[in-house]
Copies of this chain bind each other. A is one copy, B any other.
Amino acid sequence: MELPSKHLQAAVEALGSLPGIGQRTALRLALHLLRQPEGDIEKFSNSFSDLKKHVHHCASCNNISDDEICSICTDQKRDQSLICVVEDVSDVIAIESTRQYKGLYHVLGGVISPMDGIGPQDLSISLLLERAEKDGVKELLFALSTTMEGDTTAFYLFKKLKDAAINISTLARGIGVGDELQYADELTLGRSILNRTSYEGSISKS
């Protein structure tokens, strides 16, 4: 695709470098931007240059934060004895949006994946082990994907932590709320039978 302006070309290449955005979509978006007032484009542009300069990783939980320690870690109303271990920042946002979780988080920054060359040393695992040894931490909740990599990471952490005096739990796996039984895959349905919960408990929670 040959474009009539090298500046437009640069903008299309920048947008096209984003995951899931092809050349045609990038062109459509760049032309959209070109139609906006100059002030709006300036603001659009600045929001990205500010991003890397001002966003840090929380020194405690590795979540992203504008300050050294994130607002979740400094929130004294939260249960400091419970830490939810997640892969990425987007998982924190997803769990926060449920409004069901009142503990802290620990963001690993990925999962162990030998195929992609990601080992335990590439993740913030040592920081998690340090936190787990601190007084007051009673439970670690693993909220990792049920992929091979997620399961490997959970198992690695479990082996490292099994001598520590803390409970280790994982998210419940089962039929999704609103799902029809007949369309559930066998593995999920099997797990939901193995891990069945007391009916009385399930109605009092909901």
Separation of A27 and B64 alpha carbons in the complex (Å): 13
Chain A interface: which size bin? 35 or more
A residues 69-120 in Cβ contact with B at 8 Å: 70-72, 88-90, 92-93, 96-97
With A20-B25, A29-B19, A43-B14 in contact, do A4 and B48 touch (Cβ < 8 Å)? no
Q: Give the nearest-CB partner of A99 in chain B.
A: B2
Known contacts: A1-B97, A2-B96. The answer to whether A41 contacts B33 by CB under 8 A is no
**Given A28-B90, A34-B55, A90-B28, are A42 and B49 neighbors across the interface (CB < 8 Å)?**
yes
A interface, by DSSP: helix, strand, loop or mixed?
helix
Residues on the B chain within 8 Å of A6, using CB: 66
- The residue that A52 contacts in the complex, of B29, B41, B66, with Cβ under 8 A, is B41
10 residue pairs, one from A and one from B, having the closest CB atoms? A45-B48, A45-B49, A14-B47, A10-B47, A7-B54, A38-B52, A14-B44, A41-B52, A11-B47, A5-B66
